[in-house]
Amino acid sequence: MTTESRYPAQTRRQLLTRIGILAGSAGLYQAMTSLGHAMGTDFKGPPHLTGARPGTTVLVLGAGLSGMLAAYELRRAGYSVRILEFQNRAGGRNITLRGGDTLTELGGATQKVGFAPGNYINPGPWRIPYHHQGLLHYCREFRIALEPFVQLNHNAWLHSSSTFGGKPVRYRELASDINGYTGELLAKAIDQHKLDDLVMPEEREHVLSTVRGWAGLSDKGTWASGARSSLRRGYDKMPSAGIDGAPTYSTPFPRAEVMKSGLWQWMAFPEALDMQTTMFQPVGGMDNIGKGFASRVHDLITLGCAVTSIHQDDHGVKVTYKDTAHGNAIREAAADYCVCTIPLPVLSQLDIQVSGPLKSAIAAVPYASSVKLAFEFKRRFWEEDDQIYGGISFTDQPISQISYPGHGALSKGPAVLLGGYMFGPAAYDFAGMTPAQRVEEGLRQGSVFHPKQYRSEFLNGIGVAWSRMPWTLGCCSMWSEQARKAHYKTLVSMDNRIVLAGEHASYVGCWQEGAILSSLAAATQLHKRATGAA
């Protein structure tokens, strides 16, 4: 039975909201992946745009990755390009916060980052799947150094408030117990000939051997305390040397508690295509990607341009904007064509002269709310005390997870971890708090993993609520099934002399790869129109 038939009265957005309430942020993201909001891509290489008519001008609105890449490829094709950017920096949601930076949200609350030199957090995108070949291509071309991002750490924690006494358990323990008990049940069913209608006689022994070996079962076909299970889930006392060097085997958790815990979802999380290894991150912060793109088009960018209207006719496009660097002076910019990458919640509030269908499409796509917390601590206690080097600990509490930095391992001094990452209802709850309240609540919930160190080692923290960022008003696009069917083709099609780009104009929403692919599609479409090929 399909999801649509089981939930006929719900929109996809409503379904995702319910999943977010029941399963938390990571469960919501996993559902987004399975429902087509995030997936692998089919990048075929950069476009080969030739034959541009000399003197043809293009205005790009927004200096995020999609805007800068469109400008880069169109200038290479021979167009005269200019970029107008609202912020005082290029990069858009590709942002890294370091000590001394400030962040002001709607309502005027301003946070000043107090991190020590060299420490940072990526409040927007923070990892790159290996199959996002569009983004990886330009990282290579623009010489942006990448390093592995540690997604899965078997020594990290999993936490359910209602099982195991409310205490966290190691990922390796829970994963090994689920695999072990599942293998034991399957092996018993085969032994007792309860699967003879599915397992052919000639393959019976092969299947049994595979199941027992995969699950690490004992010679008796059980998942029990012993050498094999401890090699998977760990020892109570690790092997050492000397007279007392012998290890002590660990004891699996009770099967009933393992199976009712619901913690299987965190085992499934890194199995989704978008979350599989290998993943990457830029060396020194995600904004090094934005800086790398900006290095190729910096001479085209005018900062501090708050667009108020976008008008067009059969001859060109005229954009009116406030010059925030010069007392909000009203200025105009004109061009033959326009690539607009302004986030849809902002664009929908502007005076934009496009067709009725495109206006409806712009208004049909809400943006998800997301909140990230970042805490700086006196030392890397998660490494020194718990031997956790990178990876993620998950919880059913609203903060959803904490992620440990994979870079700078074994170094001394203060370090920053991601103290919470929320989508959906939890994100709206945290967005309604003051920044100080977000930090305090994140510390309270995160203490379940590190009760002794979380408070005593804490130095400072920030809480970034994307729904309160005035230049985007949300984290990323959340297409519903109905909206995509009715409006997607309109949104991504050229409207006279204007074409839209950004992650919202793709099937790879909420990823930088979506911005890359949409930018290339928009530049190609504009080029065909300008050269008369379309």
Strand partners, 121: 97
Written out in words, the top-level CATH class of the domain with range 170-261 is mainly alpha
- Name the residue with tokens 């069917």: 485
Neighbours of 50 (CB within 10 A): 10
The total number of residues written for the chain in this structure:
534
- Please, what sign has the CA dihedral across residues 177, 179, 184, 189? positive
Question: Residue 443 contacts by C-beta under 8 Å, 6 or more apart in sequence?
Answer: 375, 419, 454, 455, 458, 461
Decide: residue 161, CB within 10 A, 0-12 exposed, 13-18 middle, 19+ buried: exposed
Residues β-bridged to residue 465:
371
Tell me the longest C-alpha to C-alpha distance in the chain. Answer: 88
Q: Which two tokens stand for residue 380?
A: 């890397």
Question: In a 3-state reduction of DSSP, which class is residue 404?
Answer: strand
Q: Which long-range contacts (CB under 8 A, 24 or more apart) does 528-534 make?
A: 529/337, 529/494, 529/497, 530/52, 530/53, 530/56, 530/79, 530/336, 530/337, 531/51, 531/52, 531/53, 534/494
What was the pLDDT predicted at 44?
87
Give the pair of three-digit tokens for residue 150: 């540690």
Residues 228 and 176: beta-carbon distance below 8 Å: no
- Neighbour-count burial for 439-478, b at 16+ CB within 10 Å, e otherwise: bebbbebbebbbeebbeebbbbbbbbbbbbbeebbbbbbb
Q: Helix, strand, or coil here: 236?
A: strand
Mean pLDDT of the chain: 93
At residue 21, the pLDDT reads: 47
Q: Which of 159, 93, 215, 99 is nearest to 402 (CA)?
A: 159
Q: In whole angstroms, what is the distance from residue 73 CA to residue 520 CA?
A: 8
If phi > 0 it is left, if psi is from -120 to 50 it is alpha, else beta; for residue 281 that is beta
DSSP assignment of 214-229: HHT--TTS---SSHHH
Instruction: Quickly name the fold that domain 97-155+276-285+368-468 has.
Output: Polyamine Oxidase; Chain A, domain 2 (3.90.660)
For the chain, residues with pLDDT lower than 70 are 1-40
Q: Structurally, what CATH architecture does the domain formed by 57-92+289-365+477-530 represent?
A: 3-Layer(bba) Sandwich (3.50)
For residue 464, CA distances in Å to 21, 112, 469 come to 21, 11, 8
The residue ranges of every structural domain in the chain are 57-92+289-365+477-530, 97-155+276-285+368-468, 170-261
Report pLDDT for 42. Answer: 79
pLDDT score, position 5: 34
Residue 534 confidence (pLDDT): 74
Number of H helices, E strands in the chain: 17, 25
Question: Is there a contact between 505 and 518 (Cβ–Cβ < 8 Å)?
Answer: yes
pTM (2 d.p.): 0.91
Taking CA atoms, 61 is separated from 56, 262, 292, 304, 509, in Å, by 17, 45, 19, 12, 19
pLDDT at residue 2, rounded to an integer: 37
